Structure 1
Amino acid sequence: MLSIDPSKRSSLERRICDGDLVIVYERHDKVKAVRVQKGSDFQNRFGVFKHSDWIGKPFGTKVLSNKGGFVHLLAPTPELWTLVLSHRTQILYLADISFVISYLEVVPGCVVLESGTGSGSLTTSLARAVAPSGHVYTFDFHEQRASLAREDFERNGMSSLITVTVRDIQGEGFPDEFCGAADSVFLDLPQPWLALPSVRRMLKQDGVLCSFSPCIEQVQRSCEVLGAGFTGRPSFFVLFLCLSV
C-alpha cells in the first residue's frame, strides 16, 4: 500500500504498483481516489483508461485514454485527500488546517488527542505532522463514523499513525492513560467546555489546546470554565478558532 509518510521517498521517485491508491486529477475541481488493479479500467468523459497502463509509471504522470484524453496520476497527500474524502461531517480545509497545526505546534514525535474525528480531514494532516515517531489518537462518539474513518486511514496508508476510538469525550473525557502525555489537544465539539477538565489533565505542562467553535457563544462559555477552574494549573496555551464554515 502506498504510504504518504513523509519519511518515504518523494512521490516523484515512486512508481505506481498494482494495489496502490492514486489520486486521478482531471481538473482543480474534479479529483478522485482510485485503487489500481491490473485488468481494471477507469472511465470518465475523456475516455477509458486502463490500469495496466498506469503500473510502473511515476506518480505525477500524465496518461492518455483510448480517445486521446488525459488525466494526471498523483500521490495521495493529505491536501489531496481532503478533496476526495467522503463528507460524513463538515470538514476543515487546507487554510484552516495549516493554521491549526501551526498554532498547536505539532512536530514529528508529538502525541495529539483529537475529538471528534468526523470525516478525518484534519486527522490525516495531523498524522503527517507527527510522523514518523508520533501518534494521533482521535475520538468520535458515533460508532459508524469512527469505523468509516478507520477504513479511510487504512486506504490512504496512515493507519499506523492514527488510532480511532469510539468515545463520548464530552461525557466521559479522554482516557486516563493519556494523563500528562499529550503535547496537543484539538476539540471540535458542540459543548467543548464539558471536555475542558479532562483536557487539563491530559496536557503536558507546555501543551497546547485548540478548540474549534463556529459561534462566539461556545467560546465565551469555554472561557468561563477556563477562568473558573484552571487556577494553579501549570502553564499551557489555549487557542480558540471561531470561523465561518
Structure 2
Amino acid sequence: MLLVDPTKKLSYNRRIMDGDLVIVYERYNSMKPVKVSAGGVLQNRFGLFKHSDWIGKPFGSKVFSNTGGYVYLLAPTPELWTLVLSHRTQILYIADISFVVMYLELVPGCVVLESGTGSGSLSTSLARAVAPTGHIYTFDFHEQRAASAREDFERTGLSSLVTVGVRDIQGEGFPDEFTGRADSVFLDLPQPWLAIPSAAKMLQQDGVLCSFSPCIEQVQRSCETLKSHFTEIRTFEILLHTYEVREGELGSWQDGGRGSVKSCKKRQRSTTTNSEENPGTRTILARLNSEAKGHTGYLTFARLKCTS
C-alpha cells in the first residue's frame, strides 16, 4: 500500500509489510507488481524468492534468490505503476501525464473530474498531485472497467483519494452535485465536444479543462465547442525522444545490425594516468533510440471564461 495513513501524505519511506504491493524490478523493461504475502514465493529466471525475506526491508532493497540471482523491490510510484498496470484501454504515459498535471495547475487540495477512467494510469498521478486533501472523481461508462480500476486503486492505496463512478459523460454529462466545485476537468473521450458544456458548469471560476484526443479532427471539433465557454485555448503534441549514451567509436554504431545512426553527438575529453604520461581520449556517443515512441495524442487546454 502507498499510504501509511489515509489522512496524511503519500509515503514510501517505510519498510515493506505483509500485504503491501511492491514492484519487482528485474531490468528496465521487465517489472511486475506483486502483493507481498508471508507465505508467498516468486519464481522467475533468477531463481526462487520467498516473500518472508522481503518483509521488514525498506523499499528499494536488493533481494537474493535461492540460486544467488537478485531483483529490486520498488515502491509502486505512479511512474512505475503506469509501466506495469493491466491495459484495459490505451493509456497515457509519463510525458503526457506530466504535462497534464502541470497545465491543469494541480496542487494539494484540488478537486478533479475525469472521464473516462480507462486503465487508471492518469488517475494515479492526478491523485498524488492533489493529495492529501484533494480528490479525484473519475467516471467510465463501462461497468467492468470501472470495477477493475476501483480494485487497482485499492491495491495501490489510493482509494481514499479516488472515487470511481459508472456514467456515460458524453450522453449524461457530469453529475449535478459537482456543479461549480471542480478545479480541473480532464476528458479522454471519443467525442469530447459532447461533454464540454457539462464540464464548463462543473468548473469553478478560472478552472482549467484538458481534453486528450488521438486525431486532429477531434481536436478541431472540440476547439469549436470550447470557444463558447472557454478562453486561452491551446493544443500540444508531446513527442518524447530518448537517447542511448555510451563510450566507444563512432563507427561501432553506424552499422551494427541495428540500422544507421539517426543522431550522434561526439565529445572529446583528455585523460591522464600519471601526470603527463599516457595521454588519451575517449569519445562519448549519443544515439536516438530506435524504439522511441512517436505520436500518442493531442492535449487541448482551455480556461473557463470569467462571467463577472
TM-score range (shorter-chain normalised) is over 0.9
| 1:202 correspondence with 2:202 | yes
Counting only pairs closer than 5 Å after superposition, residues 27-106 of structure 1 correspond to structure 2 as 27-106=27-106
Could you tell me how far apart the structure 2 residues matched to 1:56 and 1:200 are? Answer: 48
Report what 2:20 is aligned to.
20
User: What residue ranges of structure 2 are gaps of 5+ in the alignment?
Assistant: 239-294, 297-308
Counting only pairs closer than 5 Å after superposition, residues 103-114 of structure 1 correspond to structure 2 as 103-114=103-114
Q: Which 10-residue stretch deviates more, 185-194 or 218-227? A: 218-227
Report what 1:7 is aligned to.
9
Report what 1:178 is aligned to.
178
* Matching residue's letter, 2:123: T
Conservation of the 8 A alpha-carbon contact between 2:173 and 2:198: yes
Q: What SS does structure 2 have at the residue aligned with 1:159?
A: coil
TM-score (norm 2): 0.74
- 1:8 Cα deviation from its structure 2 partner: 4.3
* Matching residue's letter, 2:93: Y
- 1:215 Cα deviation from its structure 2 partner: 1.0
Residue by residue, what CA displacement relative to the aligned partner does 1:96-148 show, whole Å, maximum 9, x if unpaired?
Answer: 10001000001100000000000000000000000000000000000000000
Could you tell me how far apart the structure 1 residues matched to 2:170 and 2:225 are? Answer: 14
Counting only pairs closer than 5 Å after superposition, residues 93-242 of structure 1 correspond to structure 2 as 93-227=93-227, 229-230=228-229, 237-242=232-237
| Amino-acid identity (%) | 74
User: What residue ranges of structure 1 are gaps of 5+ in the alignment?
Assistant: none
Conservation of the 8 A alpha-carbon contact between 1:213 and 1:241: no
Could you tell me how far apart the structure 1 residues matched to 2:226 and 2:70 are? Answer: 55
- 1:63 Cα deviation from its structure 2 partner: 0.3
- Aligned pair count reads 238
TM-score (norm 1): 0.93
Could you tell me how far apart the structure 2 residues matched to 1:213 and 1:195 are? Answer: 13
Could you tell me how far apart the structure 2 residues matched to 1:47 and 1:237 are? Answer: 56
Q: What SS does structure 2 have at the residue aligned with 1:189?
A: coil
Conservation of the 8 A alpha-carbon contact between 2:140 and 2:167: yes
- 1:223 Cα deviation from its structure 2 partner: 1.6
Could you tell me how far apart the structure 2 residues matched to 1:209 and 1:199 are? Answer: 8
- 1:242 Cα deviation from its structure 2 partner: 5.0
Q: What SS does structure 2 have at the residue aligned with 1:157?
A: coil
Tell me which structure has the larger Cα radius of gyration.
2
Could you tell me how far apart the structure 2 residues matched to 1:17 and 1:88 are? Answer: 29
* Matching residue's letter, 1:7: K
Could you tell me how far apart the structure 2 residues matched to 1:217 and 1:241 are? Answer: 14
- 1:2 Cα deviation from its structure 2 partner: 3.9
Conservation of the 8 A alpha-carbon contact between 2:3 and 2:9: no
